[in-house]
Homo-oligomer: A and B are copies of this chain.
Amino acid sequence: MKRFLAAAALALLPGFGFSETPCCATGDLGLIIERATGSLLVVDRSDRAAIGRVEGLGDLSHASMTYSPDERFAYVFGRDGGLTKVDMLTHEIVARTIQAGNSIGGAISDDGKLVAVSNYTPGGVKVFDADTLALVADIPAPGKTIGLADLPGRRFIWAVWDSGEAYLGDFSGAEPVITNLGHIGKNPFDAVVTDDAHTYLIGLFGEKGVTAIDLWDDTPKPTRFLNDYGKDKEDMPVYKMPHLQGWAFTEGQFVLPAVGQYDLLWVNRETLEQVATTPVHGQPVFIIAQPASPYVWVNFATPRNGVVQVVDSRTHQVVKTLEPGKAVLHMEFAPRGAEVWVSVRDENKIVIYDTRTFEKKAEIAAQAPSGIFFTARAHQPGL
């Protein structure tokens, strides 16, 4: 009887017209950004199927998102400054605010209570109540903020393009405590927290080199390394700035995209010395570690963006080249690593590969798909 009631109750829930199966657990769901239409495709990872679509998210031409700890809500950061809260159960927008003129990304506090957004126009970081999207803090900055990431204990870290400084914001008390971590170099363009939240890595546009900040230190300070980083062998145009969120961490190494070059750079995590270079198909955009494996997967900037390569972090050799289709924009792994989902924008599809056999397991139709975000990200620091 109880079982029957549950089934009857679920049948009343809205938003399930897309799929045969009503979905109530949220651990294997995901959202795919449909950039041209300002919509999100809701997917079920286990079924390898689309189960819904959410529309009306504005300009998603450069969008990212983060999930609440219960994996129920997604917070989508749009190019137009829109912050949109989406319910993964009903496939509906539950709150939306245009909080700035141009936003670049955001993060959620580890307890799920606060959502922070880093803005270009105007600069600074705005912090919102994750429940209502009411503004709870407006942290000014001397310019555009980049590389915003969460740290444990209701904290965030970010950098400022114009002033070349990094800041740590602690929101665990009654009032925010903002600490200037010092000068990190000229025009930081992106930054990322390593998987163990040990190091904040900052890429620079205005000068050579990479800056690291040890987040486990009591008084975190910037350190410079890889002092040739960013230098072009030839005067090649950079078709797309690589995403530093794509830096992979594997086998005691960081893997960085060489800016403007057809190379991956491998850096020893302990010594911060470069240990190897891997020539690849094009200018790397995302370099993503395949979980539970020695491999990283790489996609490339236009016009060489129809290819994905797989590189072994032990030998630094390319072990596989795949051609998923025209304009591969993003890759997302099943959290335990057995398959990878690849968005192929110009063929309006997602292609799913088995990571052991490289066989194509399924395709899903999507409208000009870009970023793929599985709910498992809710449990990872710095994502």
The interface of chain A, by Cβ under 8 A from chain B, is 2-3, 5-6, 8-10, 12-15, 24-29, 45-46, 67-73, 88-90, 92, 110-112, 150-154, 172, 196-198, 216, 250, 252, 269-270, 291-294, 314, 334-338, 354-356, 375-376, 378-382
Option from B28, B68, B72, B379 in Cβ contact (under 8 Å) with A335: B379
Residues in B neighbouring A294, C-beta threshold 8 A: 198, 216
A89 to B9, CA, bound (A): 13
Shortest distance between the CB of A112 and any CB in chain B (Å) = 6
Shortest distance between the CB of A48 and any CB in chain B (Å) = 10
Shortest distance between the CB of A309 and any CB in chain B (Å) = 19
A70, B152: Cβ atoms under 8 Å? no
A83 to B354, CA, bound (A): 30
Residues in B neighbouring A250, C-beta threshold 8 A: 196
B27, A379: Cβ atoms under 8 Å? yes
Residues in B neighbouring A197, C-beta threshold 8 A: 291-293, 337
Shortest distance between the CB of A381 and any CB in chain B (Å) = 4
Residues in B neighbouring A10, C-beta threshold 8 A: 9, 13
Option from B14, B354, B379 in Cβ contact (under 8 Å) with A336: B379
Shortest distance between the CB of A254 and any CB in chain B (Å) = 14
A335 to B25, CA, bound (A): 18
Residues in B neighbouring A198, C-beta threshold 8 A: 294
Option from B5, B70, B88, B376 in Cβ contact (under 8 Å) with A13: B5
List 9 A–B pairs whose Cβ atoms lie within 8 Å, in order of A's numbering: A6-B13, A24-B24, A25-B68, A46-B111, A152-B336, A196-B291, A252-B269, A337-B381, A376-B379
Residues in B neighbouring A269, C-beta threshold 8 A: 252
B152, A356: Cβ atoms under 8 Å? yes
A154 to B334, CA, bound (A): 13
A292 to B335, CA, bound (A): 18
Residues in B neighbouring A73, C-beta threshold 8 A: 25
Shortest distance between the CB of A82 and any CB in chain B (Å) = 21
A336, B110: Cβ atoms under 8 Å? yes
Nearest B-chain residue to A376, judged by Cβ: B379
Option from B6, B71, B270, B381 in Cβ contact (under 8 Å) with A71: B71
A88 to B24, CA, bound (A): 10
B338, A24: Cβ atoms under 8 Å? no
A380, B151: Cβ atoms under 8 Å? no
A356, B153: Cβ atoms under 8 Å? yes
A27-B293 in contact given A110-B334, A379-B336 (Cβ < 8 Å): no
Nearest B-chain residue to A67, judged by Cβ: B27
Option from B24, B70, B292 in Cβ contact (under 8 Å) with A28: B70
B216, A27: Cβ atoms under 8 Å? no
Shortest distance between the CB of A70 and any CB in chain B (Å) = 4
B292, A196: Cβ atoms under 8 Å? yes
A337, B92: Cβ atoms under 8 Å? no
A14 to B6, CA, bound (A): 7
Shortest distance between the CB of A155 and any CB in chain B (Å) = 9
B27, A71: Cβ atoms under 8 Å? yes
A90 to B45, CA, bound (A): 22
B69, A45: Cβ atoms under 8 Å? yes
Residues in B neighbouring A29, C-beta threshold 8 A: 70
Nearest B-chain residue to A11, judged by Cβ: B9
Shortest distance between the CB of A85 and any CB in chain B (Å) = 13
